Amino acid sequence: MRTSFKTGLSFGLTSGVITTLGLMVGLHSGTHSRTIVIGGIVTIAVADALSDALGIHIAEESKNNGVVSEIWESTIATFVAKFLIALTFVAPVLLLPLEEAMLVSVVWGLTLLAGLSYFLARAQQIPAWKVIAEHVVIGVSVIAITHYVGDWVHSALG
């Protein structure tokens, strides 16, 4: 797999999971509204995917040594990965009771993160459990923090 494609795919998947879960958990704890959670997911899928793709594009350009086609490959891979991963979180929210959908989404997101971490560790020939643990702990931290931020917003403004 080309490095530029791997960069976009891994960044897009990671950002898709972490950002979408953080937003979902925060919106859920702040509003308990299925409509608002779905609106947040779709907004993240479009706006943040475009933002992340532009961010990767500019970061790759700033290196001043990239091939233009590879820069665009990273850009497009980031957008597609982030967009598609974010949209996968809509299904549980549409199909399940909201509380259950949140749990399924957290498990789904952490599974994706652990899977990517496993492949990264294997490619680097380092113990997979260390990479998986590090990335999952960060993911769980984001989930916990955004949950409490949502609670705080609800109590302060609700």
Residues 6+ apart with CB under 8 A from 46: 83
To the nearest 10°, the Cα dihedral for 113, 54, 145, 121?
Answer: 30
pLDDT band at residue 3 under the 50/70/90 scheme: confident
Judge whether 83 and 65 are in contact, CB under 8 Å. Answer: no
pLDDT digits (tens, 9 = 90+) for 8-45: 899 999 999 999 999 999 999 999 999 999 999 999 99
List pLDDT tens digits, range 41-66.
999 999 999 999 999 999 989 988 87
pTM of the predicted structure, to 2 decimals: 0.91
The rounded distance, in Å, linking the Cα atoms of 59 and 6 is 15
Residue 99's nearest CA partner among 26, 32, 35 is 32
Give the sign of the dihedral formed by CA 147, CA 150, CA 154, CA 155.
Answer: positive
> Could you give the CA distance from residue 55 to residue 75 in angstroms, rounded to a whole number?
8
Pairwise CA distance, residues 35 & 5, whole Å: 34
